[in-house]
Amino acid sequence: MKPGIHPNYVTVKVHCACGATWETKSTKGQELRLEICSNCHPFFTGKQKLIDSAGRVERFTRKYGKKTPAAQA
């Protein structure tokens, strides 16, 4: 690696809007402020809303799915 061309990699404090704080390494060099982190994100906390797509799929197949041929006279 060439000397003098790489940014400093320093320890910084991270603050989330939920109140969680921790330390990490960054080239930014100042504290980081986040709106959402793994402590408060719905995906990681298990509080996410699951959409029931079964009704939607059924409606789609009814509308666009394989249709039986009409009785030929």
Question: pLDDT, tens digit, for every residue of 16-70?
Answer: 988 999 999 999 989 999 888 888 877 767 776 656 566 777 788 788 887 766 6
Given this model, what pLDDT does residue 52 score? Answer: 58
pTM: 0.52
Predicted confidence (pLDDT) at residue 73 exceeds the cutoff of 80? no
The CATH-assigned architecture of domain 10-62 is Irregular (4.10)
* Separation in Å, CA 52 to CA 23, 45, 49, 57, 63: 39, 20, 9, 10, 18
Q: What is the mean pLDDT of residues 7-18?
A: 92
Could you tell me if 41 and 20 are in contact, meaning their C-beta atoms sit under 8 angstroms apart?
Answer: no
Sequence-ordered list of residues with C-beta below 8 angstroms from that of 27, at least 6 positions apart, any chain: 7, 8, 9, 10
- Residue 10 has what pLDDT? 94
Between 66 and 6, residue with greater pLDDT: 6
